[in-house]
A and B are shown apart, each in its own frame.
Chain A
């Protein structure tokens, strides 16, 4: 009988384990007083809950990629200088408003550059790094080419520009300006993801060769007239620009992020953060995603 009771108790204890909840990460020293207003005390735990609800998911979302980028990308003096220049630009643009903002956050221009601008630079470089390391396959997917595209609202303007360009008497920038176009006339990288020009123009560009020179193409709806020239269809010839253009594509950024999140085995252990990230950016929760299937070429290797 005593054995029976012990066995029953053990069984009931086991059942209690069934009531386990999703995990939350408890904060140490949560009862520490941060401030008192009259008889109202605000503890570290109170503040943690308030901040978590307000910025928790966003903070984690940013911090994770910042931590990874800090591991993968070396900070150069050039990057630091660029970050500081950016802050000084803000100060010039926004004046007192920006200075007051820095004061309210307890920051200087240097610390703002270090804490906010530089990490942004590193995460951009991270995607560029991914793009460089997967350059051939990404070029296969996005087929970048380099071209000059001038847009005109009338056929007469487009034809006049085309004529001048074929003469060689003007630069593309001058041809645009002289014929009522706001196009810059600069070379640009166009990918399969580019939507800033009509599909008819893009289609012609992809079928052109460099020797074709300048050509005129009306848009599908006849409202815009393009004068365009293919500069190069070999991404190796303009690799740096191609990397920048491809790494600006959202799908590539997402692919890069997933790669690095898996590489660094990002995992969430707190259910509140998990739910917050699921709402904000479910793609970051790689723990919910199946591992990617190896490609045949990888298997062959």
Chain B
């Protein structure tokens, strides 16, 4: 050994130097790294007291509050992707919206908007910020899928586009359903307006509901599943056909309504949408746009139902019945 070193002293010196530099380099590179830990062969996420919380423990903890929601979200995005074709319009709109989303995030989270967006998109099942346009296209597809369902089940759902004129109680509801003299006078003025002019102009001039009057009394699109409206109003609205105006409808909550059905067919809905949004015939409108207020406001249960039914058509399976039960409960699709 001594002879070896004597003969090759320079090489040995280089090796020692090299080893020393390597060790220092390894130490310096690794000193800032987070060290891991395992317990019973599994990675530990954190420890507190005597407890090592493994990745499985952490999974179970997150699953309690978020598991079924995350799984259902995955069903939604997968079904929409598989069921609706991507159109050029969707891609263009997604590109425009993506710029707007990024701009909003940059304003609200100036120092870390990329990380925020990344995290949000990963939680939705995408790879990160690069998936933003894909996510937006998927949202359009979800709306189109549900709108297509509405179109196919239009009569069964009893879809109606409705406008109304309201005459409020003079001093609260007397409980008898008989208008006072003052109320009768205001109702007569409305009747006269409807005889001599349009429903829209009469609503603008005389309806006592400040939220709808400026729009000519337009409420929007409802169906038989709508639960947020006055029951008397809804029952009367669903009983009307396209173009019909109801007689006075008494509502113990509000007063007296004249209700107009602007559309009770899909073709009527397209026409009403164009009129209410001042769109000419050459402007393309999608089913998603036409039924957006129904899906987003007046029948929010429809999307989950449509997605679930479509998922079952595509083949939805859960090896664990408990997982299926939890996801069904989350989606409102219990057996």
Contacts and interface: CB of A to CB of B under 8 A. Distances in A.
B54 A25 contact: yes
A67 B61 CA distance: 12
A211 interface: no
B18 interface: yes
A114 to B, nearest CB: 12
B59 A27 contact: yes
Interface in A1-49: 3-4, 7, 11, 14-15, 17-18, 20-29, 33-38, 40, 42, 44, 46-49
A269 B48 contact: no
Contacts of B15: 7, 11
B59 A48 contact: yes
Interface in B42-82: 42-49, 51, 53-56, 58-59, 61-68, 70-71, 73-75, 78-79, 82
B10 interface: no
Interface string B143-159: 00000000000000000
A170 interface: no
Interface stretch (A77-85, A103-111, A245-253): A103-111
A160 interface: no
B95 to A, nearest CB: 24
Given A35-B327, A59-B61, A267 B47 contact: yes
B61 A53 contact: no
A33 B319 contact: yes
A42 B48 contact: no
Interface stretch (A124-132, A185-193, A234-242, A271-279): A271-279
A265 B25 contact: no
B280 interface: no
Interface in A48-66: 48-56, 59-60, 63-64
Contact of B79 (A24, A37, A266, A274): A37
Contacts of B123: 50-51, 53-55
A289 interface: no
Contact of B318 (A35, A48, A104, A270): A35
Main secondary structure of the interface of B (DSSP, over half): helix
A231 to B, nearest CB: 41
Contacts of B318: 34-35
Interface string A196-214: 0000000000000000000
A173 interface: no
Interface residues of B, number: 72
Nearest to A12: B22
A35 B51 contact: no
A38 to B, nearest CB: 4
Contacts of A35: 71, 74-75, 316-319, 323-324, 327
A273 B45 contact: yes
A42 B35 CA distance: 30
Contacts of B197: none
Nearest to A16: B26
B34 A23 contact: yes
A15 B22 contact: yes
Contact of B42 (A7, A26, A46, A106): A26
A15 B25 CA distance: 8
B245 interface: no
B175 to A, nearest CB: 24
A47 B56 CA distance: 12
Contact of A71 (B49, B55, B75, B326): B49
A244 to B, nearest CB: 27
A117 interface: no
Contacts of A4: 11
A25 B323 CA distance: 24
Given A26-B43, A42-B74, A63-B61, A50 B34 contact: no
B45 A37 contact: no
B323 A34 contact: yes
B195 interface: no
Nearest to B38: A25
B317 A55 contact: no
Given A34-B71, A103-B329, A14 B55 contact: no
Contacts of A15: 22, 25-26
A17 B30 CA distance: 9
Interface in B308-335: 311, 314-320, 323-327, 329-330, 332
B45 A268 contact: yes
B70 A24 contact: no
B112 to A, nearest CB: 7
Contacts of A269: 34-37, 43-47
A263 B49 CA distance: 8
A20 B46 contact: no
Top-6 shortest CB links A-B: A23-B36, A25-B43, A54-B123, A53-B122, A38-B314, A27-B55
Given A35-B318, A67-B48, 14 more contacts: A22-B34, A24-B36, A25-B54, A27-B43, A27-B59, A28-B55, A29-B56, A37-B79, A37-B316, A47-B71, A51-B70, A54-B122, A105-B330, A273-B58
Interface of B: 4, 11, 15, 18-19, 22-23, 25-26, 29-30, 33-37, 41-49, 51, 53-56, 58-59, 61-68, 70-71, 73-75, 78-79, 82, 112, 115, 119-120, 122-125, 311, 314-320, 323-327, 329-330, 332
27 contacts: A11-B15, A11-B22, A20-B33, A23-B37, A27-B59, A33-B319, A34-B71, A34-B319, A35-B327, A36-B316, A37-B75, A37-B78, A37-B315, A37-B316, A40-B82, A42-B71, A53-B120, A53-B123, A54-B119, A63-B61, A105-B330, A106-B68, A269-B36, A270-B36, A273-B46, A274-B34, A279-B115
